[in-house]
């Protein structure tokens, strides 16, 4: 069967979709994907995808470029569409598609428009909904949607569709191939200080300085990652370190260049965000720092991760000593699939 998957949100969410795609490829003849330019990198080199359609996030669906993509998708013959993120625009996008099945999670009912949309959509025979469970991980929710869809399609579901890892594919790295592994420095830590400041998903300067000093005290080297907007803050941090000879700086804007440099480190430390999930998808040992986000639903999907969140749900209150302690745990192969 030919299937369209829709995932139109951020980079980290796209990476967390990789186990779903990996499992689906056992059942589908071909899988096409619709994404935004915001999360395209999560899918660009995925070997299990046939065609990738990339809408421009900052342009309306009615724009010339987006309409050309939509017209192309509408011309294809899909037996089913799986919508992986709960966005009303995506649900409306498939209204006029000639497909027999649309599988998705129910929208939240917080707004009047959402309630009206769900009432209307349930009257259309091609829509099949299941509830989204905020108490479980995003990957588990996507697997539940896949099981629901396969059961509805009467597909043979004897294959175990669970996996302990997500995947981030690059032009040089395929995590499906265990022999295709970049040379890794077992004594190097990639530390990302950038992120989404609007939701406090970044490591504050004072906390970053303390973490760096703790890492250097263990005689480890550091790859300091900062976006172009955070370059000045990165230089400020470096100036505050007495001896920064074991620290290299990465301020690249191309996520694949960043991923290539990251993959040469054994460890990754960063706030909840896209690069944390990219690191997990590269097989790195990850320490995630969470502010007020739902840590149980959005921690990295890998067996080699530890995530930290205080009772106050303030990233500013995370102890740098605890971060270093978790680094010791990972260094000693004491692995965790849960959270702390």
pLDDT at 197 over 60: yes
Q: What's the whole-number mean pLDDT along residues 185-204?
A: 93
Extract the tokens encoding 114.
Answer: 């959402």
**What mean pLDDT, rounded, does the chain reach?**
90
For residue range 269-306, list pLDDT tens digits in order.
999 999 999 999 999 999 999 999 999 999 999 989 99
Q: What's the whole-number mean pLDDT along residues 224-229?
A: 95
The predicted pLDDT at position 96 comes to 81
Minimum mean pLDDT among 122-131, 253-262, 284-293: which range?
Answer: 122-131
Q: What's the whole-number mean pLDDT along residues 82-91?
A: 88
First to last CA, the chain: 42
DSSP state of 287: E
CATH number of this structure's domain 2-152, picked from the four choices 3.30.70.360, 3.40.50.2000, 3.90.1150.10, 3.40.250.10: 3.40.50.2000
**3-class secondary structure per residue, 139-196:** HHHHHHHHHHHHHHCCCCCCCCCCCCCCCCCCCCCCCCCCCCCCCCEEEEEEEECCCE
Name which residue leads in pLDDT, 123 or 271.
271
**Where in the chain do CATH 3.40.50.2000 domains reside?**
2-152, 185-331
For residue range 166-185, list pLDDT tens digits in order.
999 998 887 777 666 667 89
Distance CA 239, CA 278 (A): 28
Minimum mean pLDDT among 27-41, 52-66, 242-256: which range?
Answer: 52-66
Minimum mean pLDDT among 1-10, 101-110, 138-147, 272-281: which range?
Answer: 101-110
Helix axes of 274-281 and 255-262: crossing angle, nearest 10 degrees: 50
pLDDT at 333 over 80: no
Beta-carbon count within 10 A of 302 CB: 21
For residue range 313-330, list pLDDT tens digits in order.
999 999 999 999 999 999
pLDDT at 338 over 80: no
The predicted pLDDT at position 182 comes to 65
pLDDT at 108 over 80: no
**Domain spanning 185-331, CATH class:** alpha beta
């Amino acid at each position: 069967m030919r299937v369209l998957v829709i995932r139109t949100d951020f980079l980290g969410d796209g990476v967390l979709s990789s186990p779903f795609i990996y499992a689906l490829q056992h059942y589908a003849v071909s899988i096409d994907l619709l994404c935004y330019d915001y999360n395209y990198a999560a899918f660009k080199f995925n070997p299990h995808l046939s065609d990738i359609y990339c809408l421009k996030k900052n342009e309306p669906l009615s724009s010339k470029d987006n309409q050309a993509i939509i017209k192309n998708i509408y011309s294809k013959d899909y037996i089913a569409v799986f919508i992986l993120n709960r966005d009303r625009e995506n649900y409306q996008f498939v209204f006029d598609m000639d497909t027999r099945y649309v599988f998705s999670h129910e929208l939240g009912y917080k707004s009047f428009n959402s309630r009206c949309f769900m009432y209307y959509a349930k009257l259309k025979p091609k829509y099949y909904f299941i509830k989204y469970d905020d108490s479980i991980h995003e990957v588990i929710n996507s697997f539940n949607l896949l099981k629901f869809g396969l059961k509805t399609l009467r597909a043979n579901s004897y294959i175990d569709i669970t996996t302990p890892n997500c995947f981030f594919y690059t032009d040089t790295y395929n995590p499906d191939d265990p022999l295709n592994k970049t040379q890794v420095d077992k004594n190097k830590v990639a530390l990302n200080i950038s992120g989404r400041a609007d939701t406090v998903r970044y490591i504050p300067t004072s906390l970053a300085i303390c973490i760096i000093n703790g890492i250097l005290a263990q005689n480890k080297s550091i790859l300091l990652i900062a976006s172009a907007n955070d370059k000045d803050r990165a230089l400020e941090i470096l100036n505050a370190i007495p001896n920064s000879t074991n620290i290299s700086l990465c301020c690249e804007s191309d996520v694949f260049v960043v991923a290539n440099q990251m993959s040469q480190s054994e460890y990754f430390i960063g706030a909840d965000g896209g690069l944390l999930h990219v690191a997990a998808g590269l097989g790195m040992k990850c320490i995630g720092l969470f502010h007020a986000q739902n840590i149980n639903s959005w921690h990295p999907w890998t067996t080699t991760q530890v995530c930290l969140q205080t009772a106050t749900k303030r990233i500013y209150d995370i102890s740098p000593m605890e971060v270093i302690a978790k680094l010791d745990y990972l260094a000693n192969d004491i692995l965790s699939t849960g959270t702390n």
